[in-house]
Structure 1
């Protein structure tokens, strides 16, 4: 287990502490996953660098044509933020379903990404929203990567928490678009979902102008359903189009059969159900307005 605990006041100070740790220091924010991993021995650290005291770490705000979330933003903050609820609805809906109330109050959106689980609800939403992570490196430089490009495999992130820090997340604002998130999970359970899907859809003059879909866990990371996106662009939603989109989504995803989550065919069917449900609801909402 860890031996020393540090609480820097600036990002530069935190990066210096990581560098001084020579690979044995690790970033902690919420710690809902890290502390369990340290206890199990799946991760090791002599020094923990708590970034929650850094100014602005919990900010949620518009910056130009993007929404910015600081590295310390919790699931509860994202779920209750009026800005996220209005302009990145899928993330607010996903964050509201993570774990228990206690976990949502302390666990962070950035930590959910770094933990790199294919079924992580907020990660699936962020992939559909085409979010990017800003990564601060020990040499003072910054690197920006798409959230969907941060995965090295199930539970393996390309972000090295012993030498770099996710300083924030950017979500591009997409005019005339709406987003939603849905999941199916076991009743009365805090386990990861059986299937989850996030959808972003833009509509103009009765035609779909832009869309992005992400699903999990159907592969080693949250999966973009680009074939479905390409199929829908330029089309007007109808029963036949919705049916074909759902069938296509089921065909291209590759969930494995699981004792806990159900068989492959069942989970592919659930993906179709969720996508059809969203698209039909979108038609209904447009008709109401």
Structure 2
């Protein structure tokens, strides 16, 4: 089995494992209240999702050993593709036309990238100065994106994607260096870069949690797209990776990336947004019990005309 095929197969299994873990975690979260979160530690199903996530991560690391960053990182979009039929089956519904369209666009775009990004197994690694330079530049960019301002969700999603992409690029350096029998197993280069991997992986996770507070669809698309952009930039400019086919291959890769991005955005729009409960009273109002009693029929403050109605129904809803 050549290096490209091995990388694609490993990336496919990694995406399926990530998707299965995400679907299972979503189902568990929907059945668990805040007071019951600690019960997850005693749930066998929850620990299976941990095993799935860990297995997916190991498969991704193995794929980075055999495939270039420009090949492996875009294939991460297969997680969304795999999550569509898995999520639909668990929910007991059919895959929608929008989901089929997003899946088809993503697969077509990734196929074009697969043709141009194929190549031999990576053998070049980042030096310690290069790794530190990438880390410093990425940290500065993340700091700019994370500053207070408008649309924090999309900016934090971009920062999360960059952090995760850099973590994967650094992981490839660790993997190639460790498996290179010509040098020591735990060299200074491996230790320094491994610490940077841990820092950026944790940072990417925390940033994604912040990004998803206002909804999942758009931030999920931004994270999925920013990740391979950051990794591919490191691969092309620092590791000497090249796209196959010359100018024609570059054009095909650009078109494939555009089509895949369109598919990712389409799939992300099909992700349901979390429903946030509306408070009965404002935090600055009087005691909640007094406010509710004041709205009871027969009280002096009760006035049905002041209460909003549910669209399309005659039922009254609390403020």
TM tier, smaller: under 0.3
TM-score norm. by structure 2 comes to: 0.23
TM-score norm. by structure 1 comes to: 0.24
Q: Which has the higher strand share?
A: 1
| Structure with the larger RCO, 1 or 2 (CA within 8 Å, 6+ apart) | 2
Q: Which has the higher helix share?
A: 2
